[in-house]
Amino acid sequence: MLHVVLIEPEIPQNTGNIARLCVAAGARLHLVGPLGFSLDEKHVRRSGMDYWERLDLMTWKSFPEVQEAHPEGRFWFLSSKVEKSYWDASFRDGDFLVFGRESKGLPASLLAANPDRSLTIPMSEGTRSLNLATSAGIVLYEALRQLNLAAKPNH
């Protein structure tokens, strides 16, 4: 199982879309507070559709709590402020894909402390960033592709 970690997400629709993504991909979603919204908010539920009840969700007060609970976990930090492409990563089952909040991304101190595990999604010059839900989908499905864990098509 892969893990998607959102640190202090701010936009409920993004979190709802990522929740639906995690259900479809068989991944666990970790939400690290403080959240910029309530999990009961209708925008989260509407974006997550009827998948919300199937979501494997864990909530945390801080990111160090996530790390302490998973001492053997490999954490990959996604940011537009680093150079190494996610294409260059070799993902393993059980990896954690960590994303920051929409307005600021991950803290510079976290990226500086983990330079070998900090990844970016290549973009054309002049592009600041991608939507959080889009970014999570790109990297999660690359990890699934590498692991050959993608769900079978529904026909």
Task: Report the predicted TM-score, pTM, of the whole model to 2 decimal places.
Answer: 0.92
The class level of CATH for 3-147 reads: alpha beta
| Residue 48 clears pLDDT 70, i.e. is over it | no
Structure confidence by residue, pLDDT tens digits, 63-93: 999 999 999 999 999 999 999 999 999 999 9
Percent over 70 (pLDDT), the chain:
91
Q: Where are the beta strands (DSSP E) in 2-153?
A: 3-7, 28-32, 57-60, 75-78, 96-99, 118-119
Answer yes or no: is pLDDT of 7 > 90: yes
pLDDT tens readout for residues 98-115: 999 999 999 999 999 999
Q: Write 51-54 long-range contacts (CB < 8 A, 24+).
A: 51/19, 51/20, 51/23, 51/24, 52/16, 52/19, 54/23
Q: What are the residue boundaries of the structural domains of the chain, listed by start? A: 3-147
